[in-house]
Amino acid sequence: PIGTQDIRSNLAQPGLVGRAAELQKLWDHVERHSGVLLVEALSGFGKTRLLKELGERVAASGYSVVWGQGQAP
């Protein structure tokens, strides 16, 4: 890998910037609990990007990752 905390296989993949605290909170939750994780925020706050990064790290650790999406009525 590129760095000790970076799971990207090359520098062409986008890195996650400025969300280390949020990513750590989510990772801590994954390590302590199993089940569903719900993240809610306004549009444009980077939920998809944050969860994509978390999903890649979780999968690299051997966990299963399932994605879902809801729509407002």
User: Taking a C-beta distance cutoff of 8 angstroms, is the pair 21, 71 a contact?
Assistant: no
Phi, psi for 32 (deg, rounded to 5): -95, -25
pLDDT digits (tens, 9 = 90+) for 1-17: 455 556 555 556 666 77
Strand partners of residue 6: 3
| % of the chain residues with pLDDT over 90 | 0
Q: Cα separation of 49 and 42, whole Å? A: 14
Find where tokens 């949020």 sit.
Answer: 22
| pLDDT (tens digit per residue) in 51-61 | 888 998 888 88
Is pLDDT above 60 for 40?
A: yes
pLDDT of amino acid 1: 46
